Structure formats: C-alpha cells, structure tokens
Amino acid sequence: MATNNSIFRTKELDKLLAETKGKKSLKKVLGPLELAMLGIGAIVGTGIFVLTGVAAANYAGPALILSFIFSGVTCCFAALCYSEMAAMIPVAGSAYTFGYVGLGEIWAWMIGWDLLMEYMVAVSAVAVGWSGYIVALFESGGIKLPAALVNPPANGGIINLPCILILLVIVLFLFRGMSQSAKLNDILVLIKLSVVILFIILGVGHIKPTNYHPFFPYGVSGVFKGAAVIFFAYIGFDAVSTAAEEVKNPQKDLPIGILGSLLVCTLLYILVSAVLTGVLPYYTYKTTAAPVAFALQKIGISWGSALVSIGAVCGLTSVLLVMTYGSTRILFSLSRDGLLPEVFSDVHPKFRTPIKSTMLVGVIVMLLSGFVSLGELATLTNIGTLIAFIIVSASVIVLRKTRPEYERPFRCPWVPFVPAVSIIFCAYLIWNLPHFTQMVCVIWLCIGAVIYFTYSRSHSLMSKEENVVSPTDGK
C-alpha cells in the first residue's frame, strides 16, 4: 500500500470489509432474484423504448441488431470483471470502491466523481423521457397538460413538473429502505418485461424482409457509431454492484445478478431491434421519440401501442428507482471515506439508509430534470459508464498481480485477456462518442481534480489514519 499521503494509496480489503460492520453500515436485505431484477430494472428503459429508433434512423439502420450485439459483447467482458470485483469486495460504491482497492485513491476519486455525474445525469435524462410518455398518455385520453408545467424554461415553459413529482416519489421510497424499494422494482420490471415480450410477439408477424435492405445504409462504421449511442441502453448492470453492501450472500449472488440481468436484456434488445427494423423501414423512426409504440400504431395495433406506452412508463420508473439508488450509494461511499463531507454518510437509525445522501441526490436530479434542458448532456452517461468499465477491468488485472492471496468467490476467466479486451472495446466506444461529450467529461474530471487536491486528499479517512500513525508523513 502506498503511504506518506500518496495519491495512489490503496485500501486493504480487510479494513474495507470491517467498515461495513460499523455504525455507518447498511441493512442486508437483497437476494439473487432481487439483484437480477435490479439489473433488469436499470437496463431496460430509455434504451429500448427511446434510443432504438434514434440509433436505427440516424446511425445504423437495420444493422442496429449488430450494434446491440457489439455493445452486449463489450458489456459481457466488463460484466465478468465486475462480477469478480463485486464478489471479492462486497461493499457499496461499485467501480469507485474497486478502484480504491486496485489502483489507488486518486483513480478511485476520479471514477467516483465521474460516476456521480453519470448516474445523476442519467436519472435526469430518464425523468424527462418519463415525463414525455406521461404527457403523451394524457393527450391520448383527451387531456392536454399546460405546456408551461411540462417544459423547462429553455423550452418555453416554467417547470417540468412531472419529472419532479416522480423523483419525489422515488426518493420517498428510498428513504424507507431497500426492501420496500426492491418490491416496487420487482412489480415494475415484471410489467415492462411483459410489455416488451408482447411487442415482440405482436410485431414478428408483420416483419417484411425488404425492410432489412439495405442492411448497412450508413456503412459498417454506422454499426460502431450506433453501438456507441445505444450503449446507454446497457447502463444498469453496474448498478447491481452498488448494492453489494445490502446483499445477504454477496459472494454468490452478485455475479448472478450482474451476469443474469445482462444476458436477459441483451437477448431482449436483439429481438426488439430485429422487430423494429423489420416491421417498418428504419428511416421512418426519424420522426418519433417513442419507436416501439409508433411501430405498433403504424401496423394497426393501436391498443398495443397504448399498452406499450404504459409499459414504458413503468419501465422508466424502475430505471429512475435503481439509478437514483446507485447515485446515493456512490455519494455515501465517497463521504464515508472522507473524500466528500462526512455528513453525507449519515445513516438513518431505523431504516439503515443513507438519508442525507438520498436527500442531496434527490434535490439535484429534481432541479436538473425540472428546470434544465439536458440535450446532449445525456450522452455523458455513456462516457461515464465506459470509463468506469475501464477502471474496473484494469483493477482485475492489477489485483491478480498485487493481491493474489485475496479470496475470489467468482473468478473472471482468461485474465488478462478478458479485462484487456474490455478496456480496448470501451476505449474504442469512447473514441466514437461526440466530441462535445468528450470535452464536457474532461472539464468535469478537471473540476474533480481540483476538489481532490484542495479538499478530498487532506480529509480522506486514509490520510487521517496515516497522520495518526506517523505525524511526519504527508509533507
């Protein structure tokens, strides 16, 4: 372990596990089914109900099927790395905690800071999509909501009120604890899975093979650009690892939750993209933000369209629940380690939930979704996830060399090949993201670096421990 206030100091696993048994520990209530449902709840949402049409129309065409396969394979490599790390280090914080043990404090802080941005922007973007579906459902019933109350100021409104209301409900559920939140998530996931499967069944009989030609309207490069865009659709399995500290049997159940949810969702995405681009020409989706419902309307199944819209609302609600949950656990972990003010690691005495982290995250995402037009900022969720995947994959390689004695209940196969491929694929997808996204991410990380060197480094729990042991260190 690096010492003398080194920015590369790492956490020892035994000390990290001891922290989960202290007064700032979380209640263990989750099993393998709840974890898999958490993963599916986070993954199946905006990507399948919104981004599929955008990616098909503007980037990949019918080859969107290959885009989903490429992104799915990339995620599978990363998921194997996450499974090893989560089973070995069953502590809240996900990639942040893994990076702290494997690569050192500075890398942990930067990825934790990056994940805070990713999760909160994702929650805000999904809340806006949720609001859009709610407005459409009301309009289909003949009720037109006031434009001033469903649009942010930049879009000519006053406030996007539906966003704030749904996030308030989510935050109240999270206050009460993960047990009740998981039950709500299970119900929402079952509804949206039923709707997705119904769409596949209804649409498959209307597929016209001619709609698959040309298969590569934007060239082979369009497949990879499409993969970079729809990568947002796979965000979520990493959220399972943020729940590590609240799992009854983390060493066994976390890999099941991570890999199981990813495999189910990858199969669903491939089938949905095949049906979408088969029932209608890919370019028809340029004009819609709700491609699944739009496709059913166009083939004359209007009742199915309404049902899909309801399923989409349930689906996006579960995404909001899981991603907001993930945000609070990352903030909690950063605070418990002293890298952010200690107040945000306070735990409710009855519910054993990080109450103040939940409050802060709730306020931020409500303000973002209710008053800000996110636009291209939503793509920051992609780059944030990809960077996290790189950090986790690198940590697997490093810890296999530096800490071979650590018990690994789940072992990623073919190390270092699998982690290396994950790193290469993720770096390639980052390269294919818009320059605006890359630029904003760099700015955000620079802000994080300033915070680390002006506050976090000196307030770090590890820094305080080192100063107690040797007051002369850290010059």
**Better-scored residue on pLDDT, 364 or 43:** 364
Q: Please report the pLDDT score of residue 125 as a whole number.
A: 86
Predicted pLDDT at 139: 82
Determine phi and psi for 30, rounding to 5 degrees: -105, 145
Average pLDDT over residues 299-321: 83
d(CA 190, CA 411): 31
Average pLDDT, the chain: 89
Pick left, alpha or beta for residue 397 (phi over 0 → left; psi -120 to 50 → alpha; otherwise beta).
alpha
What band does 474 get if pLDDT is binned at 50, 70 and 90?
Answer: very low
Domain that holds residue 340: 29-463
Residue 51 amino acid letter? L
Are 247 and 86 in contact by the 8 Å Cβ rule? The answer is no
Note the pTM of the prediction, 2 decimals. Answer: 0.86
CATH at residue 157: 1.20.1740.10
Answer yes or no: are the C-beta atoms of 469 and 408 closer than 8 Å: no
Q: Is the pLDDT of residue 433 over 90?
A: no
Residue 311 pairs in a beta bridge with none
- Res 459: pLDDT: 93
Average pLDDT over residues 108-137: 89
**Average pLDDT of the residues in 428-456:** 92
Q: What would the mean pLDDT of 39-55 be, rounded to a whole number?
A: 82
> What value does the mean pLDDT take over residues 84-94?
91
- With respect to residue 275, please indicate whether it lies within any of the assigned structural domains: yes
Question: Is pLDDT at 4 greater than 60 in this prediction?
Answer: no
Q: What pLDDT is recorded for position 377?
A: 66
pLDDT tops 80 at residue 232: no
In terms of pLDDT, which residue wins out, 410 or 74?
A: 410
Which range among 20-29, 64-73, 342-351 shows the weakest confidence by mean pLDDT? 20-29
Tell me the two tokens of residue 9.
Answer: 């100091």
Separation CA 380–CA 436 (nearest Å): 9
56-70, 278-292, 334-348: which range is least confident on average? 278-292
Long-range Cβ contacts of 458-466 (<8 Å, 24+ apart): 459/338, 459/339, 460/105, 460/337, 460/338, 460/339, 461/336, 461/337, 461/338, 462/9, 462/11, 462/105, 462/337, 462/338, 463/5, 463/338, 464/338, 466/3, 466/4, 466/5, 466/9
Specify the pLDDT at position 206: 96
Whole-number pLDDT of residue 343: 94
> Is residue 49 in some structural domain?
yes
Q: So what's the pLDDT on residue 473?
A: 47
d(CA 126, CA 457): 33
Dist. CA 316–CA 130, nearest whole Å: 6
Choose among 377, 357, 298, 371: nearest CA to 131. 371
Give me the percent of the chain exceeding a pLDDT of 70: 94
What average pLDDT does range 11-16 have in this prediction? 87
- Model pLDDT for residues 144-174, shown as the tens digit of each residue: 999 999 999 988 899 999 999 999 999 999 9
At residue 468 the predicted structure's pLDDT band, cuts being 50, 70 and 90, is low
Domain assignment present for residue 75? The answer is: yes
For residues 311-337, give the mean pLDDT.
91
Average confidence (pLDDT) over 35-59:
85
In contact, 44 and 192? CB cutoff 8 Å: yes
The whole-angstrom separation of Cα 214 and Cα 223 is 13
Q: Is 409 inside a domain boundary?
A: yes
Residue 441: the pLDDT is 92
> Would you call the peptide bond into 146 cis, given omega within 30 degrees of 0 as the criterion?
no
Question: Does the pLDDT of residue 130 top 80, yes or no?
Answer: yes
Question: What per-residue confidence (pLDDT) applies to 382?
Answer: 78
- Collect all residues with Cβ–Cβ distance below 8 Å to 277 and sequence separation of at least 6: 56, 61, 62, 64, 65, 211, 212
Residue 470 domain-assigned (yes or no)? no
Residue 30's DSSP bridge partners are: 247
Residue 379 pLDDT: 67
**466, pLDDT greater than 70:** no
Distance between CA atoms of residues 322 and 261, nearest Å: 13
Residue 121 lies in a domain: yes
Write out the E strands in 312-359. Answer: none
How far apart CA 428 and CA 470 sit, in angstroms, is: 44
Least confident span in 104-108, 343-347, 384-388: 384-388
Is pLDDT at 359 greater than 70 in this prediction?
Answer: yes
Residue 105 lies in a domain: yes
Percent of the chain residues past pLDDT 90, beyond the cut: 58
Number of domains in the chain: 1
47 vs 53, residue with greater confidence: 53
Instruction: Tell me the average pLDDT across 454-475.
Output: 72
Query: Which stretch of 30-34, 136-140, 204-208, 469-473 has the lowest confidence by average pLDDT?
Result: 469-473
pLDDT at position 362 over 50: yes
In a domain, 12, yes or no: no
